[in-house]
């Protein structure tokens, strides 16, 4: 594993420049290169920024291609679209999580312990739990108990997913237990996700815990009573205003990462919506299409590109949302990275009810999930209710398909849910290089084989992750 620095000061410095014009992020008398002067809240802000950037860009991009929300038109992303997943292409994914986000959050936890600031520690722990779930959902077994301890474990061992998931649930419980009060005023400007609002962080914690439990629901160690107890406690994200998002700005270097890497760089035409999601949404006349996609000029029907074809083989091809193509569009610049939403929270509860884990009726929970997703994507109430009346809850598979659609722009979560429940029934991409199999995990990065080969598991992209039954 690459060297993990005690403080990710390079990233921290970048974030200071990014947000410095829009907040009191750093006092001019402080030296950002002196770790003794780094405040805990700055490290939390840096950890959030790194986590959101990579979840919103590289991870989102690759997972959205594999799970067929997006497709590649030009050569830049053909390898992923056609399942030619090379270890060298995933070095950044790995190092960005371990070397930046987790490093900053780990430093924040240590400083919180030294300075007796339990709320800071709790928030950093919740962010770590989120990050570790993302990491293990990408790769399976990964360094966990020996991670972030470079002085003691230069080549950390890999923990099994079956042990990491329960540990993350315990981490969440410990974090909530130590929270004091309803707000952490020191984070009012530096916590970009919730501005130090501990009630919102607690809702995030409950929803993340439910996500973890439901992901485990097909494994032998799963106990449905844990879900029943958690849902009985309540306290989940219930409205879009409480969604966990990381917002951006209109200053240079503070753009949404997709806008920065595609629109601003003139590469907006590299990607298009996949025909898999477009065709499904067309069959139900889904009003979210106007937010998800952009019609071709003069076209009246949304048209997706089949995965694996490379250069578009269809006429009147729709594109990804309008803000990808306008370099002056401030909506695109500021568009937040989505980490967790009220729609997901309701879908999780609806599934639990439908599977008999609780005694609740799945129908109203499903309805709330659909309506929250519609609101999230700016669909008016009349259109949303019309869609719901024409597409009521019918069965569990129908719920899974709707959840996969609602997770648009949350590529890793959509990919993970598709792997767990198999819905919708996707066909492998055309011209693929994986023997007509859709990969079910990312390949371990080349750097790990170079520096920690004795511990890297003998798993390839076709080996299901523990919860993928």
Assess if residue 158 is contained within a domain: yes
Assess if residue 461 is contained within a domain: no
| Percent of the chain as helix, strand, coil, to the nearest 5 | 55, 5, 40
Assess if residue 208 is contained within a domain: yes
**Backbone φ and ψ of 282, nearest 5°:** -65, -35
Count of beta carbons in the 10 Å neighbourhood of residue 340: 22
- Asked if 247 and 302 sit in the same domain, the reply is no
- Asked if 407 and 277 sit in the same domain, the reply is no
Query: Residue 373: beta bridge partners?
Result: none
Assess if residue 467 is contained within a domain: no
Q: What pTM was computed for the model?
A: 0.91
Total of domains in the chain: 2
Cβ-in-10-Å burial (0-12, 13-18, 19+) of 19 comes to buried
- Asked if 299 and 444 sit in the same domain, the reply is no
pLDDT tens by residue, 392-439: 999 999 999 999 999 999 999 999 999 999 999 999 999 999 999 999
Q: List the one residue out of 112, 86, 168, 175 whose CA is nearest residue 135.
A: 168
Q: What is the CATH number of the domain that holds 395?
A: 1.25.40.390
The tokens describing 116, both together, are 């007796």
pLDDT in tens, the chain (469 residues): 433 333 333 344 444 334 433 333 333 233 333 334 457 789 999 999 999 999 999 999 999 999 999 999 877 788 999 999 999 999 999 999 999 999 999 999 999 999 999 999 999 999 999 999 999 999 999 999 999 998 999 999 999 999 999 999 999 999 999 999 999 888 888 899 999 999 999 999 999 999 999 999 999 989 999 999 999 999 999 999 999 999 888 877 777 888 777 765 667 678 899 999 999 999 999 999 999 999 988 999 999 999 998 766 567 899 887 555 666 777 778 889 999 999 999 999 999 999 999 999 999 999 999 999 999 999 999 999 999 999 999 999 999 999 999 999 999 999 999 999 999 999 999 999 999 999 999 999 999 999 999 999 999 999 999 999 8
| Angle, CA 202 vertex, CA 199 and CA 206 arms, to 5° | 140
Instruction: Name all contacts of 393-397 with Cβ < 8 Å and 24+ positions apart.
Output: 393/350, 393/362, 393/363, 393/366, 393/367, 395/354, 396/351, 396/354, 396/355, 397/421, 397/423
Give the residue numbers spanning the domain of 249. Answer: 9-253+334-451
Distance CA 300, CA 298 (A): 7
Assess if residue 365 is contained within a domain: yes
- Asked if 322 and 413 sit in the same domain, the reply is no
Looking only at the bridges linking them, the beta strands covering 244-246 and 337-340 are antiparallel
- Asked if 240 and 374 sit in the same domain, the reply is yes
- Asked if 325 and 371 sit in the same domain, the reply is no
- Asked if 49 and 62 sit in the same domain, the reply is yes
Q: List the one residue out of 440, 434, 466, 433 whose CA is nearest residue 66.
A: 440
pLDDT tens by residue, 136-145: 999 999 999 9
The tokens describing 122, both together, are 């709790």
Distance CA 59, CA 64 (A): 8
- Overall size of the chain counted in residues: 469
- Asked if 338 and 212 sit in the same domain, the reply is yes
Assess if residue 234 is contained within a domain: yes
- Asked if 317 and 359 sit in the same domain, the reply is no
Count of beta carbons in the 10 Å neighbourhood of residue 95: 18
CA distances from 183 to 35, 48, 51, 199, 206 (A): 26, 18, 22, 7, 17
Q: Residue 435's pLDDT is what? A: 97
Q: Residue 326's pLDDT is what? A: 66
Distance CA 70, CA 272 (A): 6
DSSP assignment of 110-149, as one string? HHHHHHT-HHHHHHHHHHHHHHHHHHHHHHSSEE-TTTT-
Catalogue the E-assigned strands of 305-374.
Answer: 337-340
CA distances from 71 to 74, 186, 460 (A): 10, 43, 23
Distance CA 163, CA 145 (A): 10
- Asked if 347 and 325 sit in the same domain, the reply is no
Assess if residue 372 is contained within a domain: yes
**H or E element at residue 70:** strand 70-72
- Asked if 167 and 229 sit in the same domain, the reply is yes
Q: List the one residue out of 311, 312, 334, 338 whose CA is nearest residue 264.
A: 334
Query: Residue 159: beta bridge partners?
Result: 142
The tokens describing 178, both together, are 């130590």
Assess if residue 468 is contained within a domain: no
- Asked if 360 and 273 sit in the same domain, the reply is no
Distance CA 239, CA 285 (A): 24
Q: Residue 322's pLDDT is what? A: 57
């Amino acid at each position: 594993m690459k060297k993990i620095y005690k403080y990710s000061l390079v990233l921290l410095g970048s974030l200071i420049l990014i947000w410095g014009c829009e907040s009191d992020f750093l006092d001019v008398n402080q030296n950002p290169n002196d770790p003794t002067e780094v405040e805990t809240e700055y490290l939390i802000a840096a950890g959030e920024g790194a986590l959101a950037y990579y979840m919103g860009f590289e991870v989102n991009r690759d997972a959205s291609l594999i799970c067929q929300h997006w497709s590649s038109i030009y050569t830049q992303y053909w390898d992923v679209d056609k399942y030619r997943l090379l270890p060298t292409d995933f070095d950044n994914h790995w190092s960005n999580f371990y070397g930046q986000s987790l490093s900053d959050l780990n430093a924040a936890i240590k400083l919180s312990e030294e300075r007796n600031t339990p709320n800071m520690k709790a928030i950093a722990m919740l962010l770590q739990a989120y990050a570790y779930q993302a990491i293990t959902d990408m790769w399976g077994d990964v360094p966990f108990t020996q991670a972030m301890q470079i002085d003691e474990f230069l080549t950390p061992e890999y923990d099994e997913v079956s042990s990491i998931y329960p540990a993350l649930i315990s981490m969440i419980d410990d974090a909530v237990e130590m929270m004091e009060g309803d707000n952490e005023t020191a984070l009012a400007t530096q916590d970009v996700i919730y501005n130090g609002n501990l009630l919102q962080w607690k809702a995030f914690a409950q929803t993340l815990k439910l996500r973890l439990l439901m992901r485990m629901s097909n494994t032998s160690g799963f106990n449905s009573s844990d879900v029943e107890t958690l849902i009985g406690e309540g306290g989940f994200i219930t409205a879009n205003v409480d969604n966990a998002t990381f917002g951006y700005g209109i200053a240079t270097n503070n753009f949404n990462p997709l806008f920065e890497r595609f629109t601003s760089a003139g590469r907006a035409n590299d990607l298009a919506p996949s025909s898999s999601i477009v065709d499904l949404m067309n069959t139900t006349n889904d009003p979210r299409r106007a937010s998800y996609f952009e019609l071709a000029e003069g076209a009246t029907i949304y048209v997706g590109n089949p995965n694996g074809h490379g250069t578009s083989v269809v006429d009147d091809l729709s594109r990804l949302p309008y803000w990808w193509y306008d370099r002056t569009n401030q909506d695109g610049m500021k568009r937040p990275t989505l980490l967790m939403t009220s729609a997901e929270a309701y879908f999780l509860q609806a599934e639990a009810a439908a599977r008999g884990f609780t005694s609740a009726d799945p129908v109203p929970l499903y309805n709330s999930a659909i309506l929250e997703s519609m609101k999230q994507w700016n669909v008016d109430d009349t259109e949303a209710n019309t869609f719901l009346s024409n597409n009521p809850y019918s069965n569990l598979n129908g719920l899974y398909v709707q959840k996969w659609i609602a997770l648009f722009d949350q590529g890793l979560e959509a990919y993970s849910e598709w792997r767990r429940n198999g819905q919708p029934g996707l066909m492998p991409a055309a011209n693929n290089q994986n023997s007509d199999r859709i990969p079910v995990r990312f390949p371990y990065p080349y750097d790990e084989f170079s520096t920690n080969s004795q511990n890297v598991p003998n798993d390839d992209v076709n080996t299901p992750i523990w919860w993928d039954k």
